[in-house]
Structures are given as structure tokens and as C-alpha cells.
């Protein structure tokens, strides 16, 4: 191996060691300062009480699951059609789906 090749290999190894050391140090600082608990860019990580309540409400109002086994009675069919009609009404409520208002804050619920 030539001197230039050896120096290039040493430089590559040293640069990898420095990169790993600085990344490790920054992650240690991030964790030790407690900033990891304030990172709101990761939804669902240490949720607020409001988020917990919203998730519980969503679970209660989850979509209707049609029974895959059992007899189909008039009551079961009527319940399914009611839930289906509610979903169709939500879809039909979207007017001008390709307009600028489709991405408005009110439409998105923001």
C-alpha cells in the first residue's frame, strides 16, 4: 500500500470515528437535558391529556364492523345500512373536491 493510500484509509477511519462520537454526544445531550420529552414532532410520544381523551373518543366512535359470521337478520342488515348511509353522507358532503377549499383549515378540521 502506498503512503497516499494509507493516509486516505486513516483519514476515512478517523472521520467515521469523529462522526460516531459527535452523534453519540448529541444524542446523550438530547436525552440528558430532557428535550426528548418535549419533542412534539413525534406524534403519540408522551401524549398530552387532551390527546389521550381524543384517542379514547376515536376508539368509541370507530367505524362499524359488519359481522362476518352468523345469521343475517333484518335488524343486522338495517344497522349496517344505517352505518353505511352515514359514511355515504360524509362522502357526499364534499363539494368541489378538487378546488382550493378542499385543503382549507375548516375542511381539514385544523
The total number of structural domains in the chain stands at 2
Same domain, 75 and 93: yes
Residue-range definition of the domain harbouring residue 74: 63-110
The 10s digit of each residue's pLDDT in 55-105 is 666 665 566 677 778 788 888 888 888 888 888 887 777 776 667 777 777
Same domain, 2 and 44: yes
Same domain, 21 and 47: yes
The 10s digit of each residue's pLDDT in 8-52 is 999 999 999 999 999 999 999 988 887 777 766 655 565 566 666
State how far the Cα of 31 lies from the Cα of 34, in Å rounded to an integer. 5
Same domain, 5 and 58: yes
- Which phi and psi angles does 7 have, rounded to 5°? -65, -35
Whose CA is closest to 46, among 35, 57, 61, 56? 35
pTM (two decimals) = 0.36
- In the 8-state DSSP scheme, what is residue 64? P
Amino acid at each position: 500500500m502506498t503512503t497516499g493510500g494509507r493516509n486516505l484509509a486513516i483519514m476515512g477511519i478517523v472521520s467515521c470515528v469523529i462522526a460516531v462520537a459527535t452523534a453519540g454526544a448529541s444524542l446523550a445531550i438530547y436525552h440528558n437535558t430532557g428535550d426528548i420529552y418535549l419533542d412534539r414532532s413525534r406524534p403519540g410520544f408522551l401524549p398530552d391529556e387532551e390527546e389521550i381523551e381524543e384517542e379514547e373518543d376515536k376508539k368509541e366512535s370507530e367505524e362499524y364492523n359488519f359481522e362476518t359470521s352468523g345469521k343475517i337478520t333484518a335488524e343486522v342488515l338495517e344497522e349496517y345500512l344505517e352505518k353505511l348511509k352515514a359514511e355515504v353522507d360524509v362522502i357526499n358532503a364534499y363539494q368541489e373536491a378538487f378546488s382550493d377549499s378542499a385543503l382549507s383549515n375548516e375542511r381539514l378540521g385544523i
